[in-house]
């Protein structure tokens, strides 16, 4: 495939050259391509960065780690900064897709909480700067769910038929089934995965839809009673609709860290580092955290947060909860098995 991908890139390159030859010029400014999750940054900060440094930013979004990886891998676009999650960072490191970050250019790195350094996905802390972190849990509408919610089992309760949103993302949804069964999120045991698949197929008639970002609006307007989502999204949603609440189930869940990385497709590594450093400015990190609602690993930004946010267990859960949570690991070849399971679940009637 490598060869073919190279051929494909060559071909795209020829086409690109043919069609841009006449389009040279511009204003002489450097442009960097930033590739982030949808609704995962206060985009006014991008304008602020452009003004402050005289660098153009081309801002694009994706909605799953896998989609981001597939777009960067062939190298068609020169992305300079991306925001993959832990397991995806380790996969990209393994495949030699990331530049080592020159931390002399990112002095603001010192503000990042040590808890988020030297984690397993980037053991020597060379390739990524932690951006946000959070948990996966259940967001529910208190007016529709009267009983206490503390277990993944409620997502299999027939009372809530057609009132459940699941994530349209394979690791999250298969992970929920695995944890309901008491297995590891990173299992490589085929029997356990088969059981998880059966659970998800059994659950499918109860599910209203598998969605990613649409979930926010729909939960606010009361389309469904229960949804699996990320804590940061939950915090924002609860602000708009106080009938909603978020819980990390007792069986445990996923704990994630999303980092800023510089893919090897980058042509402007220095400017990319400037961007990362800018995002880590205390004032900027604070604004960003307030805007998107995710949990920040930035100590100064966290100090600036109003007390009710900094002590909000949705965004900043206690250690008792975090202890139960697992980080996703790169699955390597097992990804194919997860993929097949996911297709079977999605194609089941």
Locate tokens 């073919």: which residue?
4
Beta-strand (E) ranges in 242-319?
244-247, 255-260
Concatenated DSSP letters for 142-155?
TTT--S---SGGGG
- Our CB check for other proteins shows the closer of 67 and 283 to be 67
Our CA dihedral for 138, 140, 144, 145, rounded to 10 degrees, sits at: 50
- Our CB check for other proteins shows the closer of 15 and 190 to be 15
CB of residue 101 to other proteins, shortest distance in Å: 25
CB of residue 343 to other proteins, shortest distance in Å: 7
CB of residue 26 to other proteins, shortest distance in Å: 25
- Given a contact cutoff of 8 angstroms between Cβ atoms, the answer to whether 180 and 349 are in contact is no
Question: For binding to other proteins (CB under 8 A), which residues are involved?
Answer: 1-5, 7-8, 11, 15, 64, 66-67, 69-70, 73, 162, 168, 170, 204, 207-211, 214, 218, 221-224, 335-336, 339, 343-344, 346-347, 349
CB of residue 67 to other proteins, shortest distance in Å: 5
Long-range contacts of 220-225 (CB under 8 A, 24+ apart): 220/244, 222/141, 222/143, 222/144, 223/165, 224/141, 224/163, 224/164, 224/165, 225/140, 225/141, 225/144, 225/145, 225/160, 225/163, 225/164
- Our CB check for other proteins shows the closer of 197 and 302 to be 197
CB of residue 95 to other proteins, shortest distance in Å: 11
CB of residue 223 to other proteins, shortest distance in Å: 5
- Our CB check for other proteins shows the closer of 168 and 281 to be 168
Distance, CA of 191 to chain centre: 28
Q: Phi then psi for 232, rounded to 5 degrees?
A: -60, -45
Beta-strand (E) ranges in the chain?
31-37, 56-62, 79-82, 129-141, 164-167, 207-211, 226-230, 244-247, 255-260
- Our CB check for other proteins shows the closer of 102 and 214 to be 214
Rounded Cα distance, 212 and 209, in Å: 10
- Our CB check for other proteins shows the closer of 146 and 349 to be 349
- Our CB check for other proteins shows the closer of 150 and 214 to be 214
Rounded Cα distance, 223 and 217, in Å: 9
CB of residue 211 to other proteins, shortest distance in Å: 6
């Amino acid at each position: 495939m490598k060869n073919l991908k190279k051929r494909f890139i060559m071909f795209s390159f020829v086409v690109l050259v043919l069609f841009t030859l006449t389009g040279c010029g511009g204003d002489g400014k450097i442009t960097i391509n930033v590739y982030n999750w949808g609704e995962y940054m206060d985009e006014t900060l991008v304008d602020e960065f452009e003004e402050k440094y005289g660098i153009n930013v081309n801002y694009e979004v994706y909605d799953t780690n896998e989609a981001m990886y597939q777009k960067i891998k062939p190298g068609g676009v020169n992305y300079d900064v991306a925001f993959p999650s832990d397991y995806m960072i380790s996969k990209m490191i393994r495949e030699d897709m990331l530049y080592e970050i020159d931390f002399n250019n990112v002095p603001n790195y010192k503000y990042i909480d040590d808890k988020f350094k030297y984690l397993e996905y980037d053991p020597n802390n060379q390739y990524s700067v932690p951006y946000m972190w959070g948990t996966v849990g259940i967001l529910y509408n208190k007016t529709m769910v009267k009983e206490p919610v503390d277990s993944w089992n409620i997502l299999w309760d027939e009372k809530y038929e057609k009132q459940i949103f699941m994530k349209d993302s394979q690791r999250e949804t298969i992970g929920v089934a695995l944890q309901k069964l008491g297995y590891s999120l990173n299992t490589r045991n085929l029997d356990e995965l088969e059981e998880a698949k059966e659970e998800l197929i059994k659950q499918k008639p109860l599910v209203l839809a598998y969605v990613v970002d649409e979930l926010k609006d729909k939960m606010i307007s009361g389309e469904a009673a229960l949804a699996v989502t990320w804590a940061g999204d939950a915090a924002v949603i609860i602000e708009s609709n106080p009938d909603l609440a978020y819980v990390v189930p007792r069986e445990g869940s996923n704990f994630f860290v999303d980092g800023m990385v510089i893919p090897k497709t980058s042509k402007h590594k220095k400017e990319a580092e400037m961007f990362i450093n800018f995002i880590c400015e205390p004032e900027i990190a604070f604004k960003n955290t307030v805007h998107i609602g995710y949990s920040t690993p930035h100590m100064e930004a966290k100090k600036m947060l109003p007390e009710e946010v900094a002590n909000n267990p949705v965004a900043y859960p206690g250690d008792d909860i975090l202890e139960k949570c697992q980080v996703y690991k790169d699955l390597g070849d097992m990804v194919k098995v997860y993929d097949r399971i996911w297709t079977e679940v999605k194609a089941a009637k």
